[in-house]
Structure 1
Amino acid sequence: MNPERPSASPASEYRRIVVCADDFGMNTAVDAGILHLAGLGRLSATSLLVDGPSASQNLPALLTTHLQVGLHLNLTESFGQPGLCLPLKSLIQAAYLRRLPLGQVRDAICRQLDRFQDLTGRLPDYIDGHQHVHQLPGVRDQLLQALDTRTARPWIRDTGRPRQAGLPWRLCFKAQVIAGLGAAGLRRRVQAAGLTQNPGFLGVYDFKGGVPAYEIWMSRWLTLAQDGDVLMCHPARGMDAHDALTDQRQAEYAVLSDARMAQRLADHRLMIAGTDPCKEPS
């Protein structure tokens, strides 16, 4: 499924959204949540942390699902992997001061692309970034150069067109900060490379408030969603003591897995791309 070109549906009045769960491979709770939501038809895609501790263990189950699988490019989260890994603030500073070690960035990207192919037997359907690092200056250029040497034509996540109207200012501000960290520059390069991106982006919030807050934000995102938009989520099924977001991940899972989610989608005239018989082939 290319999010920029959703396929036609017999119910032509419906809009299609790509619901993408980030962080597959981070831990078993995250993987369990994503796999169960896939079985319920609540997801279109998941982004794989190729060095995550549970990636190899749970990947066989993932590959039996209908989900598109993308590379969740990681330059900030240490799993004991070799090569470049910096705290997010340090990475952003280095990127904007033009002090990134570009050779190391390129090596990290190529190694993760290679590992993705080793794990899955194919190249990624799409690419995004853990903490949105794929759009940073220097990183985006090395990413597109690495892709230019391969046969893959993945779509690339665009955070730069967030749909946040009507949400609290703090959430709108966060969405604009994320977009401002390189989305426009990435878009220009992606267009020049002949690749595609999602037309809109949803799912940015402050990871607070439990189920009540997430239900409110979800309702608003569904109201704003347009054809091909990506709705990012971070669900988990069960606790993980080492995951700072574990409570809110479970809140996301609770909302996404609830039977009322199907009714919310219907009420907003939405389909989750890739989960119905008229889906566009991968």
Structure 2
Amino acid sequence: MILCADDFGLSPSVSVAIIKLLEAKKISAVSCIVNESKSYSFYRNLNNYQNNVDLGLHLVFTQGSPVSRNLNLSCGFVDKNGYFLDLKLLYLKCKFRSLNYQLVKNEINSQINMFKDLTGMYPDFIDGHQHIHQFSIIKNALLEVVNNIYDKKRIYLRVGYHPESPLGKIKNIRLNTFGSYIISNLGKKLYLELDINRIFKNRFLFGYYNFKKVKHFRSIFDYYLTFDLQHNDIIICHPGFIDDVLLEKETLVDWRLDNFNFLMSDYFEGLINQNKIKLNRYVFNDNFF
């Protein structure tokens, strides 16, 4: 399976925590945010791991400001101060097609180019912060960009599809939030569209949970190990230390430290060994389609 640490670049403290996990070989993928300049200096630490883990773009449309410049309210995805909208407002804007498609596409291209500037490579995969890459207009723009940029280059898109949710609703109460709808329902739609576009994708996505209701990531991880995990299943985690930059963005932060402590624990190591789990990069199969 792929164990992916999300939000590298969100803050210096989150970036440092993920680097420590890379050093300890606790994760096999990292998803990177590129619209926070205070974290840019940490990207050079990723150079040592480009051949060992998947490095992806964590596309952002709900936090901070865009990478592309000179945007105003007419683009549909920033407020009067030039900052991205919150998740629910962005979702409604996408649902009612109130975003400028060309400017959405430009922002996606800008974030990909920033990733390339910071790492010296194109992303191995692309996903979305808060799963926004599954929203209609953003999804369509992303598919167009990927088809144009990558051509025959290998890339996969992360799909938020959960095996417990064939009808679009995750049964486990610990997972049932507005976010679970984004993961399960919209993820299934993207799953089918990627098949049509012949773009590689993961099988299932695990690791999402309501951190307001669940105190320890350990219990969620234990739960997901009850599934028959395969090499292209992804478990996401959100490890991090705490600093002022993070506290400016989030009011609830202890869950990130809990994620980190769990992954660095002897319990986690024992769990991996006991269940004979191998942490791997994405496995491309040319017979996938």
Relative to the length of structure 2, the TM-score reads 0.82
Kept after mapping to 2: 8 A contact 1:49/1:55: no
Residue 221 of structure 1 is matched in structure 2 by 224
Output one character per residue of 1:238-280: Cα deviation in whole Å (capped at 9) or x when no partner: 4443233421100000101112211101222211114xxxx96
Pick aligned residue for 2:62 from 73, 76, 90? 76
CA distance in 2, matches of 1:245, 1:122: 33
CA distance in 2, matches of 1:268, 1:173: 29
Output one character per residue of 1:147-190: Cα deviation in whole Å (capped at 9) or x when no partner: 111134310111122458x9842414566412345212212221
**CA pair 128-149 structure 1, distance change in 2 beyond 3 A:** same
Kept after mapping to 2: 8 A contact 1:234/1:249: yes
CA distance in 2, matches of 1:155, 1:23: 18
**CA pair 192-60 structure 1, distance change in 2 beyond 3 A:** same
**CA pair 171-134 structure 1, distance change in 2 beyond 3 A:** same
Residue 247 of structure 2 is matched in structure 1 by 241
**Letter matched to residue 261 of structure 1:** F
**CA pair 41-174 structure 1, distance change in 2 beyond 3 A:** farther
Residue 105 of structure 1 is matched in structure 2 by 104
Residue 198 of structure 2 is matched in structure 1 by 194
* Identity across matched positions, percent: 26
CA distance in 1, matches of 2:112, 2:44: 18
**CA pair 225-167 structure 1, distance change in 2 beyond 3 A:** farther
By how many angstroms is 1:68 displaced?
1.3
Structure 1: give runs of 5+ residues left out of the alignment: 1-16
Residue 8 of structure 1 is matched in structure 2 by none
Kept after mapping to 1: 8 A contact 2:161/2:203: no
**Letter matched to residue 199 of structure 2:** L
- The range that moved more, 222-231 or 101-110, is 222-231
**CA pair 37-179 structure 1, distance change in 2 beyond 3 A:** same
**Count of residue pairs brought into register by the alignment:** 260
Relative CO higher for 1 or 2, CA cutoff 8 Å, sep ≥ 6?
Answer: 1
Counterpart mapping for 1:6-85 below 5 A: 17-65=1-49, 66-79=52-65, 81=67, 82=69, 83=71, 84=77, 85=84
By how many angstroms is 1:99 displaced?
2.1
Counterpart mapping for 1:144-159 below 5 A: 144-151=143-150, 152-159=153-160
Runs of 4+ residues deviating >6 angstroms: none
